[in-house]
Chains A and B, each alone.
Chain A
């Protein structure tokens, strides 16, 4: 779950990491009051959870509070689109932050190092740009510090990180406690990612988190009631938001072939097969283990509520879940729903023969292998 910049900065403040002074506003009047309170020279930043927000026109500097308020008024309610997110997102809130005079920009992030099975703090002297670009151009420019969360991190390790990243020595005194606090925030909030880009050194020599990106581990929600409200608007797509409400594992992919299967690996594989057959998968949907008729119906309903879907592939491996039970579920779902698009159901494993017998009277098309099922649905949906 991604947090908005203002939420991320609130979190930083809670852990004692200095951020640019700012206030969140949800209308022009709020933005005006915030801009006036902050001394007039402000930056207005759209609070949308997507990359490329600056290039999309969601960030602007103003010298007068009235102009900042006018821009905020325009921005709120508007849909911003970017290269990273062509569908775009509607701006509901803006962050009004004080302009700061930046002398230098650094980069700091904390994330999981899967290979080490520990945390890693990454630091670079070259802040303000995409870290992937820095990594591609000059991997040496990024220094790493591996942290075992059981032990935490010591000052000398952060000093070593700063030295390896070639940060100026006069910055290190401020840098050490801030990184220590960020590691603490990461662990105590069950974060997946904390990114400060840029970590700004102001012309008067202060180190400040000028931007903040925080993502919280979804699996930790049960012990973080403080993020519960955030979870609601964190989904990047309305269908994903609806799926989350219904407890369905759904990922929107934007194509026109709906895909339902059981088990993440099998569904991913079905998506690959549909793509290999020349189709464009609309979604990933895992019905989960032991799905019963009502569950299958809910899942079918969700996938078909995507107006782009022109065909549906159902791929089930019957194990402990019996194939004929799933077939019953599909039939019941179709009895309640008016389905006019082609549907291919491939059911293998336990109860496969019984399932095929059940489905044989319906207009649902069968298939033996996953590959064949994928080819069929792509052909039928294209016709």
Chain B
């Protein structure tokens, strides 16, 4: 069942989780078109991007940042503590494991379309090595508003505040965050765990971090059909002191059809939205029927928990 609370002691415990103003990011695949566009956006947001890695382009400069041939050289020269990977799917596993070998404790993988076997191999190796947390792939990344944006989300829709958010989806998260922000409900950290069937970090682990984070007072969890990670998270929600508002998409998706995300598929009787909604409700979470209900439910949960 993934990493447990005891493993999390290996990771630092910041206010806001996983990334903050002390996060120094190295970008793997920074010189590509995606990498260039989003690195520029991150720099504009104020993220401390310190270097890029592209094999064969070492010694050059890009967006005013040094580019290295290898992660090892980038780590030695610029002391980053987080890696962000943009390389195309066939090279994603290699890039992530290179980050881990160079000693980075945290890696976010944005790339979509990674072969499942690569994700499985990568996760089992990272877990046995035990020193790197992976977030993604196929995710929008992570943002601690006003502190650090490490990903492809539009920064201006986020605001600082007490809500922790974790989600398998990108644009649906933006939709929900936009409504939260406009209602005056800012966020500590928004974590995109991604739409792949074998995610590096799962709901349960992020909920554990939010529960331990003093700045987070309420949690929003956005799940979807496929797999049983929401059900596993619900077991932990039973023990949480902080209120959780949940939302599950794909409630009317037919079984056996893959709904855009590689992981969004109901297989046989496994992974249905109903099973997830039921598990969350039984665990004491409030489950919204439609995204526009979420701010109201979060506000109510905050008022009740004061």
Chain A residues engaging chain B, CB cutoff 8 angstroms: 112, 114-119, 132, 148-150, 187, 190, 192, 217-220, 222-223, 249, 251, 253, 261-269, 271-273, 275-276, 281, 284, 286, 289, 317, 319-320, 348-350, 369-371
Residue pair A114, B227 in contact (C-beta under 8 Å): yes
Residue pair A320, B152 in contact (C-beta under 8 Å): yes
Residue pair B169, A265 in contact (C-beta under 8 Å): yes
Chain B residues engaging chain A, CB cutoff 8 angstroms: 1-2, 41, 89-90, 113-117, 119-121, 123-125, 152-154, 156-157, 167-175, 178, 195, 197-198, 222, 224-229, 232, 249-254, 257-264, 268-269, 289-292
The 5 closest A-B pairs by CB, nearest first: A265-B169, A263-B171, A264-B260, A265-B172, A319-B154
CA distance A253 to B256 in the complex (A): 12
Question: In this complex, what residue of A is CB-closest to B198?
Answer: A117
CA distance A228 to B17 in the complex (A): 43
Residue pair B170, A263 in contact (C-beta under 8 Å): yes
Q: Which residue of A265, A289, A348, A371 contacts B290 across the interface (Cβ within 8 Å)?
A: A371
Q: Which residues of B contact A118 (CB under 8 A)?
A: 120, 124
Q: Which residue of A218, A267, A348, A370 contacts B260 across the interface (Cβ within 8 Å)?
A: A267
CA distance A350 to B172 in the complex (A): 14
Q: Known: A251-B257, A268-B260, A275-B252. Is A190-B1 also a contact (CB below 8 A)? A: no
CA distance A271 to B1 in the complex (A): 31
Question: Please, could you name 26 A-B residue pairs with CB atoms under 8 Å apart, sorted by A?
Answer: A112-B120, A114-B197, A115-B227, A115-B232, A117-B120, A119-B120, A132-B269, A148-B124, A263-B172, A264-B260, A266-B171, A267-B259, A268-B169, A268-B172, A276-B252, A284-B260, A286-B260, A289-B152, A348-B175, A349-B154, A349-B157, A349-B174, A350-B154, A370-B175, A370-B291, A371-B292
Smallest CB separation, B125 vs chain A (Å): 6
Q: Which residues of B contact A370 (CB under 8 A)?
A: 175, 290-292
Residue pair A219, B262 in contact (C-beta under 8 Å): yes
Q: Known: A264-B259, A265-B261, A271-B253. Is A112-B125 also a contact (CB below 8 A)? A: no
Q: Which residues of A contact B175 (CB under 8 A)?
A: 266, 269, 317, 348-349, 370
Residue pair B117, A220 in contact (C-beta under 8 Å): yes
Q: Which residue of A114, A132, A268, A320 contacts B259 across the interface (Cβ within 8 Å)?
A: A268
Q: Which residues of B contact A264 (CB under 8 A)?
A: 169, 195, 259-261, 264
Q: Known: A271-B253, A320-B41, A348-B175. Is A117-B123 also a contact (CB below 8 A)? A: yes
Q: Which residue of B116, B168, B226, B254 contacts A253 across the interface (Cβ within 8 Å)?
A: B254
CA distance A319 to B172 in the complex (A): 11
CA distance A224 to B215 in the complex (A): 48
Q: Which residues of B contact A132 (CB under 8 A)?
A: 268-269
CA distance A114 to B262 in the complex (A): 12
Residue pair A222, B257 in contact (C-beta under 8 Å): no
Q: Known: A217-B117, A268-B253. Is A348-B124 also a contact (CB below 8 A)? A: no
Q: Which residue of B115, B167, B195, B253 contacts A219 across the interface (Cβ within 8 Å)?
A: B115
Smallest CB separation, A149 vs chain B (Å): 6
Question: In this complex, what residue of B is CB-closest to A254?
Answer: B254
Q: Which residue of B117, B226, B232, B260 contacts A249 across the interface (Cβ within 8 Å)?
A: B260
CA distance A330 to B32 in the complex (A): 29
Residue pair B174, A319 in contact (C-beta under 8 Å): yes
Q: Which residues of A contact B269 (CB under 8 A)?
A: 132
CA distance A222 to B91 in the complex (A): 11
Q: Which residue of A116, A117, A268, A281 contacts B264 across the interface (Cβ within 8 Å)?
A: A268
Residue pair B198, A114 in contact (C-beta under 8 Å): yes
Greatest chain A CB density within 10 A among B1, B253, B264 is at B253
Q: Which residues of B contact A217 (CB under 8 A)?
A: 115-117
Question: In this complex, what residue of A is CB-closest to B293?
Answer: A371
Q: Which residues of B contact A281 (CB under 8 A)?
A: 252
Residue pair B258, A149 in contact (C-beta under 8 Å): no
Question: In this complex, what residue of A is CB-closest to B173?
Answer: A265
Residue pair A263, B116 in contact (C-beta under 8 Å): no
Q: Which residues of A contact B226 (CB under 8 A)?
A: 114
Q: Which residues of A contact B251 (CB under 8 A)?
A: 272, 275
Question: In this complex, what residue of A is CB-closest to B167?
Answer: A265
Q: Known: A265-B169, A265-B261, A272-B249. Is A219-B268 also a contact (CB below 8 A)? A: no
Smallest CB separation, B204 vs chain A (Å): 11
CA distance A249 to B174 in the complex (A): 20
CA distance A160 to B229 in the complex (A): 28
Residue pair A190, B115 in contact (C-beta under 8 Å): yes
Residue pair B291, A269 in contact (C-beta under 8 Å): yes
Residue pair B120, A262 in contact (C-beta under 8 Å): no
CA distance A223 to B116 in the complex (A): 13
Q: Which residues of A contact B113 (CB under 8 A)?
A: 219
Question: In this complex, what residue of B is CB-closest to A240?
Answer: B257
Smallest CB separation, A319 vs chain B (Å): 4
CA distance A261 to B259 in the complex (A): 12
